[in-house]
Amino acid sequence: MIKRTLLASASLLLTPALAATIKGADGVAVDVFNPRRVVALNGTTVELIYKLGKQNTIVGTDITGTFPANKIAQVGHWAQLPAEGIIALKPDLVIGTADNFAAGKNGVVVEQLRGAGVKVLVLPRSDTGGLDGVKSRLNLLSQVYGVPSAAASLGKTFDTTLQIVRNNRPKVAPKVIFLYAHSASDASIYGTEGGANELIELAGGKNAAPFKETKTLTAEALVALNPDAIVMLKRGLDSVGGLNGVLKMPGVIQTNAGKNKRIYTVDDSIRWIGPRLPEFALTLAQQWKADFST
């Protein structure tokens, strides 16, 4: 204990600029000082830390922290975080997002972590707020690591990509349905809230989902909505047996999207809004521009 304090104060003298007090989304201020062992919860947190070049500090993540490909220890599902499992990784900082910490008993787990002397920084929600939300999380993380310039230049890159997206949108916005499928018989629709909706709008489409949440839609309602394009997760398309599988799902072939085979896939992580959103939007916008130019 004494040894650790001595070490900490010694490095404090060397690099005073890195010490910072950061106010989390839960209102709790966290003193951070050049963290070396970070448990980064939520895939977008991991991605953002990678973008800042500080991936070597990550010692643990949850099941969503799979990109970029890594061998980071996983502490399990984000909705059921284990207090002792996280402490066992000896983190000097735990970083997660407000939406994940709100699930299940995670609120108690955060209290337990803090009670055991582990610092927990709560970032704003990762499922709303669009690209501005990504920037504000990036901004907080850059303060954690003391690299504000990296955040600024990343923010500029986002804006540049976004400008290219704007120039590549289809002339007429296609009506889009995001089909969230686990199998041919178990599929629901991502509503007008969340990362999938942000993606559709950025790419120049119009989300035709008639509700906000994730819900199932009857085949008849799908035909009545008659979307021009259907977007799916990569794993969703695989789970229904590829393009031919989707076209066989009830109602799909009767829609414009089905008739013209306008089925698009996006990354599995899309419901959490991360730094790759502009790239995902660009790919989709370019595909739509080509397919819906007339």
Partner 1 sequence: MTTAAVKATGFSRQRTRAALALTILPLMLLLAVIVAVGTGAVKIAPAQVLSIFLSPLGVAPLSAYDEQQAAVLSAIRLPRVVLGIVVGAGLAMAGAAMQGLFRNPLADPGLLGISSGAGLAAAMSVVLGFNLFGLYSLPAAAFVGSLISTVLIYLLSQRRGRVEVTTMLLAGIAINALCGAGTGLMTFLASDEQLRTITFWNLGSLGGATWPTVMSAAPLILLGVLVLPLTARALNALLLGESGAAHLGIPVQRIKWIIVTLVALSVGAGVAVAGTIGFVGLVVPHLLRLVIGPNHQTLLPASALLGATLLVLADLISRTIAIPAEVPIGIITALLGAPFFLFLLRRERREGVL
Contact string (CB under 8 A) for partner 1, positions 197-216, x = contact: ----------------xxx-
- For position 28 contacting partner 1 by CB under 8 A, the verdict is no
Least distance to partner 1 from the beta carbon of 101, Å? Answer: 10
Residue closer to partner 1 by CB (options 193, 201) is 193
Contact string (CB under 8 A) for partner 1, positions 210-249, x = contact: ---xxx----------------------------------
Least distance to partner 1 from the beta carbon of 17, Å? Answer: 28
Least distance to partner 1 from the beta carbon of 42, Å? Answer: 12
- Residue in 109, 138, 202, 285 binding partner 1, rule: CB under 8 A: 109
For residue 68, is the peptide bond before it cis, meaning its omega torsion is within 30 degrees of 0?
Answer: yes
Calculate the CA 137 to chain-centre distance. 11
Distance, CA of 222 to CA of 48 (rounded, Å): 36
- Max distance between CA atoms of the chain, in angstroms, equals 71
Q: Which stretch binds partner 1 (CB under 8 A): 23-31, 102-110, 131-139, 234-242?
A: 102-110
Nearest CA to 164 out of 128, 204, 209 is that of 204
Least distance to partner 1 from the beta carbon of 125, Å? Answer: 10
Helix pair angle (130-145, 148-167), 10° resolution: 160
CB atoms within 10 A of CB 53: 10
- Residue in 77, 175, 206, 289 binding partner 1, rule: CB under 8 A: 77
- Residue in 19, 20, 28, 73 binding partner 1, rule: CB under 8 A: 73
- For position 192 contacting partner 1 by CB under 8 A, the verdict is no
In which residue are the tokens 């989902």 written? 209
- Residue in 18, 20, 37, 85 binding partner 1, rule: CB under 8 A: 85
Residue closer to partner 1 by CB (options 6, 103) is 103
For residues 43 and 64, the answer to whether their CB atoms sit within 8 Å is yes
Tell me if residue 245 falls in helix, strand or coil.
helix
Residue closer to partner 1 by CB (options 16, 115) is 115
Torsion sign, CA atoms 207, 242, 236, 41? negative
Distance, CA of 43 to CA of 78 (rounded, Å): 10
- Residue in 8, 29, 31, 82 binding partner 1, rule: CB under 8 A: 82
Helical ranges in 62-216 per DSSP H: 83-88, 98-101, 106-115, 130-145, 148-167, 195-202
- Residue in 12, 116, 164, 224 binding partner 1, rule: CB under 8 A: 116
Distance, CA of 280 to CA of 175 (rounded, Å): 18
Q: Which stretch binds partner 1 (CB under 8 A): 106-114, 160-168, 169-177, 223-231?
A: 106-114
Distance, CA of 278 to CA of 157 (rounded, Å): 9
C-alpha distance from residue 14 to each of 7, 11, 30, 34, 137 (Å):
11, 5, 21, 12, 27
- For position 99 contacting partner 1 by CB under 8 A, the verdict is yes
Contacts to partner 1 by CB under 8 A: 1, 60, 73-80, 82-89, 99-100, 102-109, 111-112, 115-118, 127, 193-194, 213-215, 271
